[in-house]
Each structure stands twice: as C-alpha cells, then as structure tokens.
Homo-oligomer: A and B are copies of this chain.
Amino acid sequence: MGADKPKPARGRPRKMNAENVLDVAMTAYWQSDPADVSVNAICQMAGISKPSLYREFGSEDGLSRAVLDRYAEQVLSEIFVILQGGMRLRGTLDALIDFASDDPRMETGCLFYKMRAGKHRLGPETRVRVEEIDAAAQAAYVAFLQSCRDAGDWPDGLSVDAGAQYLGEQIALAITQRASGENPARIREMMALALSVFTRP
C-alpha cells in the first residue's frame, strides 16, 4: 500500500532502514509515551542521524503518524479481528476481556490510547489519524453490537451507539490501567463487572 521507494539507480546507498526506525520509535512510544520520547532519543536508539530521519519522515508529526499506522495494522487489527470473528455476544466480550487484561502486548498499555489521551500534544497529521482510527473502532463496535441485537441478545433500553461507546471506553480504561501497573486480576474483575451490563437479564 505505502508508496515504496523505487531504489534510485544512482547515489550513495542508504544505510538507514526505515522499518527498523519505525520499530524502534514504536517500541519507545509504546513503552513510555509519545510525548516523553524526543526525536533525538529515537535517532540515538536507532543509530541514525537526525537529518536522515527528517528526510525519511519529514517531521516529528510524520514519524509519529507512520508509527501509528504501523501500530494500527500490527496490533490494533487484533481488536477488529475479535469483533468480526463471528462469535456471539458472550464469547466476543470474553475475548475482549482476555485481550485487554491478559495479552502480554498490552502490558505497558496501548500506544493508540496513549496517543488519544494526549491528543493535544500530537501534530496535525497524527491527530487526524487518531481520530480516524477512533471513528473506525467505534463503527466496528456498533456493527458488532448491532448484529448482537439482531440476533436477539440485547438488554432493553440501551441504544447501540451508547453501548458501543461504553464498550470501547471500558476496554480503553482496562488497558490504560494495565499501563499504570494495576493488578491484572483486579483489572479483569472490574472489566468483567463493567461488561456484565450487556449480559444481564
């Protein structure tokens, strides 16, 4: 999908591996917080010079946007897979609980939620991308819950939209709590409690 560099015929061969830089940046952003990792630090960790990075990504905003794209397709896709897995309400909720409260990848939180929480600190490109992903996630939650309502298991007096947003926010809350070192068993317990509103008589 991304416009691949057609490897120019002439000129000094590139030492820098863009994918490696993205991996380094993603790990750093993910482990701490995008706002707490400078481009200088990323260059140092990736073993490249600043102008190299800027030639490849244009700006800090461009880099963080590229990182977010990578994160979306490598990690965030997992949530969409669960939602579109064709399971019934209960099974899907259980899978979401497992993912949020036990998947080792979420041990230091979710990069997307960290970016969303600090949205005002992001550059315009990245911020727009965050909002797009947020909207796509919301749409996926809506589609899932809609199918559940069509299948019959749905509590009275709750709009699909509100339920979808609620579901998304509870997942975000659980994962964010993991990033702050909260007891995983307790997080699971609270998340199960929060989502029990969907499966009560």
Chain A contacts to B: CB under 8 angstroms:
32-33, 35-36, 117, 119-121, 158, 162-163, 165-166, 169-170, 173, 177, 180, 186, 189-190, 193-194, 196-197, 200
List residues of chain B with CB within 8 A of the CB of A180. Answer: 119
Consensus secondary structure, chain A interface: helix
A123 to chain B, nearest CB (A): 15
> How many chain copies?
2
CB pair A169 B177 closer than 8 Å: yes
List residues of chain B with CB within 8 A of the CB of A32. Answer: 120
Residue of B nearest to A121 (CB): B36
CB pair A193 B197 closer than 8 Å: yes
With A194-B197, A197-B194, A197-B197 as known contacts, state yes or no: A162 contacts B177, CB within 8 Å.
no
List residues of chain B with CB within 8 A of the CB of A193. Answer: 158, 162-163, 166, 197
8 nearest interchain CB pairs?
A166-B190, A162-B189, A193-B197, A173-B173, A166-B193, A194-B194, A200-B200, A196-B197
CB pair B194 A165 closer than 8 Å: no
Cα A32 to Cα B120 in complex, Å, equals: 10
Return 5 A-B CB contacts under 8 Å, by A number: A33-B120, A117-B117, A119-B180, A193-B197, A200-B200
List residues of chain B with CB within 8 A of the CB of A163. Answer: 193
Cα A197 to Cα B193 in complex, Å, equals: 7
Cα A29 to Cα B195 in complex, Å, equals: 34
Cα A184 to Cα B128 in complex, Å, equals: 23
